[in-house]
Structure 1
Amino acid sequence: MIKILLLALALNTSANTIKDLEKEFLQKGDTLSYYIADENGKVISSNENQNLIPASIFKIFSAYYILDKLGTNFHFSTSISYRGDIENGTLKGDLILNTSGDPYLLTPQIFDLIESVAQEGIKKVDGNLVVVNNFVNIERIGTVGLDDQPYNQSISGFNLNFNRFKSIGRSTQKSIFPKHDGFQTISSQKSLGPGVGFKNQNKNNQDIEKWQYTNTKDYFVEVPIRNSLAFNAYYFKKQLEQRGISTSGIKITNKEQSETKRLNTIKSPSSLDLVKLAMEYSNNLFIETLTLKATNKENLADAAKKMIKDLKIKTKGKIENSSGLTTETRITPKEIVNFIQENANQKFGSHYFINLLSITGHSGSLHRKYLNDDGFEKFRYKTGSIDYVYNICGQSFEKTKRTFCIMINNLQKRKLVDGKNTNRTERLREEAKGWRRAKERFSELLLLQM
């Protein structure tokens, strides 16, 4: 009888504590849904069948699917070759760049490709720089956020430097941008809109990347490229010229080129390494390019739909992409917990899937927040957040292993942020920073109640 009374008191205290946390950290309009299941089948849950916006939690499904379909040792490749004869340093023909969608191609690798041309003795190309796009050509990953958000870039066969350009400068100084024939910037003395530093001016799929901007107080800003295929082709041509190799022009095609001599090939990190990076840094470009390869689809929505169908995941709403950069898709925390429980110990190469997630005390948003002394290195988790959306899902490895998913959305404020850009929505975006901090703290304290 005494044991039963003590248990009842303990459960009641836990319930009261959770209610106290909700009262302290949740606001009007916040929807909380969580599902926590231990290895013995015991479940603690609240509103677990509520479908909410997953944001980057969606990458848990994508990461698993990519490794299941592509394996751990798939590599993208980018190669340089030529067609024709070389006479006294002049190539009587075309220089050919074959692309495949490598999302981790960086300027040092471009220098490697160009150096192989120089070492062949080529100083002038009578023909064109032919860029072969053996992949998709998509303007943006999602429709969420302002136009200049760096995580929402384009995707093509020629992805370079994460498909972002860099702006360096202060409001009192002239800004510095990349300089080549495929890029144009227009300084504006007027505001481009609340919170807007850069506004895209590309129209009718033009080859030249054009952005209007206002001077910013930030010294270093990254802006997404909308036509990565053309922008990066012009960038490559400019780097050739700086190495002393001139070309007649640029030709972009999706047709394979025959009768060529290959000079150099750059391979990306493995699919396993790219997935590790994507999970650690929540990289949308890595996830989307890999899912496109895994599904062999031509657009992000079809690739994501095939992934969801193959994995037999239950979702609500519109499926737009595989990285979670959308407010249209909905899912329940119970569905996520069931997936993690089922696949946590799936082995990919030498790695168990669950260990691809962030670890408390080492990485992710909890790298400096151990929950408590016992929580250090005991949690594997993935977070997903955009303005007024915060989720954390994973497993804890304490005395009893638990799989958890906590989702908090304020759908009313999220809808306002997605609407017309006004001073009000800019204030909401600023307030969202504090909102997220409160939800992070709530989730950490809730995990302690497990």
Structure 2
Amino acid sequence: MNTKKLFLLLVFSLLFISAALWGQNGSARLSSRLDTLIKYKLPAGSHVGISIYDLTDGKPLYAYQSDKLSRPASTMKLLTTITALSRPEADEPFRTEVWYRGAIEQDTLKGDLYVVGGYDPEFDEEALDSLVNTVGRFPFSVVAGNVYGDVSMKDSIYWGSGWAWDDTPASYQPYLSPLMLNKGVVTVTASPGMKGDTASVECVPVSSYYTVVNETESHTPSAGRFSVSRNWLQNGNTLVVKGNVKNRQTGMVNLYSSQDFFMHTFLERLQAKGVQCPAGYAFRELQKDSLSVQMALFETPVQEVVNQIMKESDNLNAEALLCRLGAQFTGRKWISDEDGLAAIRRQIKVLGEDADNYKLADGCGLSNYNYISPDLLVAFLKFAYSRTDIFQKLYKALPIGGVDGTLRYRMRRGTPSYKNVHAKTGSFTAINCLAGYLHAANGHLIAFAIMNQNVLSGAKARAFQDAICDEVIK
């Protein structure tokens, strides 16, 4: 070997060794900085588990109690969504259908009308009017038979396992059903009048299914804080709006029995279109035969549902996706939450983990019975990254630090994490988690999970997580 070649070989060897040592030193420096954050910035009396993995290099970056079980809160939605997006049928839309069974003679439908629920969590007032208008174009104005809602897709358990009973009537805890209108939630808007006068109140969607009691006072601080509730202890749907209204105020409240809210309002609007229908409705499964005809169909794309799950941490959307996942996984029409959870457990096994080491109770994370680890979250994030079809759908839906979704007010402009973190949040009392992807300053893409437990100050937990992300990015 001549001198020149020997010299070049020596140079390249030194560069390689230097790069390796720099990488090791860089990793050691990162570990030291993160250890320091845990020592000095972790809220007193709390616990944390952290798992960080370099997807670009294909190697772990940092771990701290990463195999310890924690309650995930809404980061549970990552397991549900990634598993659902891995299915061959992942792109099938959510469907709500109207059928009749019988025959149309002259101006009369001599038969029954069915509204078939497909657990569409984004079905809103516009979608309802679309179905009603389509039905109204059929050549009849009288329904001589009955009107049925078909909610046979899922069992009648309307809350997830371990959901807190006293979280109702909050809008984030819906009454689950394959037929949901506006997520089973009413939005109440109050506008002030003259001082002391009752404020004007508007409700969306409009329906006679609920009643409103207006106890507000305009520009009257002694009236107390503005609030919207209902007689939920009696499973009633009397909405009580009260308190001081000094400017335009909005409140949201769930309604008891989503399926009844849907069917009552559907029937009411069909009658308003001039279609004479029975005074009431019932619930019954459609048995399709030669007399069955589809009248109307409304579809919602899966990406729209996933966007809401991730950006706004929508619990109903996650439970709807879990329900549909169960139907796809089992091949059955009639399913329960457990069928969807079985699909997630199967995915855990595919990732080389033992599903018996974890506890899965629902698809959205509202349950206190869920127990998973930071390592498991990162394993799912790694799997999603390995599948372009999954990663593209997931990544575009994740909140962006300082920009949108549940991260819009975190990771402000000027911090390393601003726009460089795409992650799912998860929080309820004493729990605060963050898991997703971040772009490091060296151009690497990183998967991470931070699970804070037993911390009563959400602000402190969020500040700790943001600081961890800043250090990893630097």
Query: Counterpart of 2:296?
Result: 264
Deviation at 1:226, TM superposition (A): 3.4
**Is 1:148 equivalent to 2:175 in the alignment?**
no
Shift of residue 101, structure 1, vs aligned partner: 1.8
- Residues 34-68 of structure 1: CA deviation (Å, up to 9, x unaligned): 12233353532323232111111111111111111
What SS does structure 2 have at the residue aligned with 1:238?
helix
**Kindly tell me: are residues 366 and 185 of structure 1, through their superposed partners in 2, closer, same or farther at Cα, counting changes over 3 Å?**
closer
Match of 1:275 among 303, 306, 309: 306
Partner of 1:29: 45
- Compute the TM-score of the two structures, normalised by the length of structure 1: 0.79
Task: Give the equivalent residue in structure 2 for 1:44.
Answer: 62
Cα distance in 2 for residues equivalent to 1:350 and 1:342: 9
Normalising to structure 2: TM-score of the pair? 0.75
Q: Distance in 2 between matches of 1:367 and 1:78?
A: 33
Distance across 1 between alignment mates of 2:129 and 2:319: 26
SS in 1 for 2:59: coil
**1:138 aligned residue:** 157
**Residue 392 of structure 1: SS of its match in structure 2?**
strand
Residues 178-216 of structure 1, C-alpha deviations (whole Å, 9 max, x = no match)? 665644567899xxxxx993342456xxxxx53564625
Contact map agreement 1:202 1:211 (CA 8 A) in 2: no
Paired position in structure 2 for 1:104 = 122
Tell me which amino acid in the other structure corresponds to 2:263. A
Cα distance, 1:446–1:140 mapped onto 2, change above 3 Å: same
Match of 2:430 in 1: 388
Give the residue type in structure 2 aligned to 1:274: V
| Distance in structure 2 (CA, Å) of the matches to 1:261 and 1:71 | 25
Partners of 1:217 and 1:299 in 2: CA distance: 43
Q: CA RMSD in A?
A: 3.6
User: Which among 318, 322, 326 is matched to residue 287 of structure 1?
Assistant: 318
In structure 2, the CA distance between the partners of 1:272 and 1:117, relative to structure 1 (3 Å rule), is closer
Q: Is this contact kept in 1: 2:104–2:140, CA < 8 A?
A: yes
Unaligned stretches of 5+ residues in structure 2: 1-17, 193-197, 217-226, 328-333
- Which deviates more, 358-367 or 180-189? 180-189
Shift of 1:94: 2.6
Where does residue 242 of structure 2 map in the other structure? 215
- CA 1:356 to 1:214, structure 2 compared with 1: closer, same or farther past 3 Å? closer
User: Distance in 1 between the 2:60 and 2:105 partners?
Assistant: 77
Taking a change above 3 Å as real, the CA distance of residues 100 and 256 of structure 1, as seen in their structure-2 partners, is farther
Greater CA drift, 8-17 or 283-292: 8-17
Q: Is the alpha carbon distance of 1:260 and 1:302 closer, same or farther for their aligned partners in structure 2, counting shifts above 3 Å?
A: closer
1:37-436 mapped onto 2 (5 Å cutoff): 37-38=53-54, 39=57, 41-86=59-104, 89-136=107-154, 137-141=156-160, 143-144=163-164, 146-169=167-190, 172-173=198-199, 177=203, 180=207, 182-183=209-210, 197-201=229-233, 210-211=237-238, 213=240, 215-216=242-243, 219-248=249-278, 249-258=280-289, 259-269=291-301, 271-296=302-327, 298-312=335-349, 314=355, 318-348=359-389, 351=392, 353-367=394-408, 369=411, 372=414, 375-398=417-440, 399=442, 400-410=444-454, 435-436=457-458
Aligned to 2:253, the other structure's residue is in SS state: strand
- Cα 1:31/1:125, change in 2 over 3 Å: same
CA distance in 2, matches of 1:242, 1:62: 40
> Contact 2:417–2:469 at 8 Å: present in 1 too?
no
- State the identity %: 19
Aligned 8 A contact 2:311 2:406 in 1: no
- 1:104-153 CA-to-partner distances (Å, cap 9, x unmatched) read 21211221221123222433323222222241133223513521121211
C-alpha distance after superposition, 1:77-123 (max 9, x if no partner):
22223344555644333333222222221211221221123222433
CA contact (8 A) 1:371 1:445 kept: no
8 Å CA contact 1:77, 1:266 repeated in 2: yes
TM-fit CA distance, 1:236: 0.5
Describe the SS at the equivalent of 1:155: coil
Structure 1: gaps (5+ residues): 190-194, 204-208, 414-434
* Structure with max Cα Rg: 2
- For 2:336, the aligned partner's letter is N
Q: Distance in 2 between matches of 1:217 and 1:389?
A: 33
Q: Does 1:437 align with 2:456?
A: no
The SS at the match of 2:424 is strand
SS state at 1:153 partner: coil
CA contact (8 A) 1:359 1:377 kept: yes
Using the TM superposition, name which of 7-16 and 311-320 deviates more: 7-16
Q: What is the match of residue 432 of structure 1?
A: none
